[in-house]
């Protein structure tokens, strides 16, 4: 199980309720504002690369959510990327949205995906979620 917290242990009813929470968090006003901010942050990265399993690396590379933190100038060193409630609180998001973005960033790609390939895939997903 990755930092998304997703596993195969949910029963059907719980899964349906969770997916509803994810959809509402992504489509709501706050979620859409964050997705737009994330798209701008991704496009502003000096190198089109995304890391997995961390918000920010020691060398300054970021994941999708971390790109927003970097654009905001936030100190992400004290946020545990594996605790989605901490990440949600720090970024003003629903836990369901944090889990979904972490899942897309960390677990949806090929096993040996490069940071550049991750960037392309995640950016495409963000664009697909934003209502223009």
Mean pLDDT, range 8-20, rounded to an integer: 74
Model pTM? Answer: 0.88
The conformational region for residue 2 under phi > 0 = left, psi -120 to 50 = alpha, else beta, is beta
Separation between Cα atoms, residue 126 and residue 13, nearest integer Å: 27
- Provide φ and ψ at 58, rounded to 5°: -60, -25
* Confidence tier at 9 by pLDDT (50, 70, 90): low
Separation between Cα atoms, residue 74 and residue 68, nearest integer Å: 9
Name the token pair of 83.
């605790």
Give pLDDT tens digits for 48-58.
Answer: 999 999 999 99
Name the token pair of 22.
């994810």
**What per-residue confidence (pLDDT) applies to 31?**
96
Percent helix, strand and coil across the chain, each to the nearest 5: 60, 0, 40
Task: Provide the residue ranges of all domains of the chain, joining segments of one domain with +.
Answer: 12-129
* Confidence tier at 3 by pLDDT (50, 70, 90): low
The alpha-carbon radius of gyration of the chain (Å, integer) is 14
């Amino acid at each position: 199980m990755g930092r998304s917290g997703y596993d195969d242990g949910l029963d059907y009813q719980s899964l349906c309720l969770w997916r509803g929470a994810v959809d509402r968090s992504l489509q709501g006003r706050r979620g859409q504002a964050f997705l737009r901010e994330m798209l701008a942050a991704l496009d502003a990265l000096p190198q089109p690369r995304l890391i997995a399993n961390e918000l920010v690396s020691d060398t300054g590379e970021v994941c999708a959510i971390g790109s927003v933190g970097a654009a905001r100038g936030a100190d992400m060193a004290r946020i545990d990327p594996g605790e989605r409630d901490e990440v949600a609180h720090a970024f003003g998001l629903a836990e369901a949205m944090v889990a979904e973005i972490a899942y897309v960033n960390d677990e949806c790609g090929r096993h040996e995906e490069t940071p550049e390939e991750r960037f392309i895939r995640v950016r495409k997903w963000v664009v697909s979620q934003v209502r223009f």
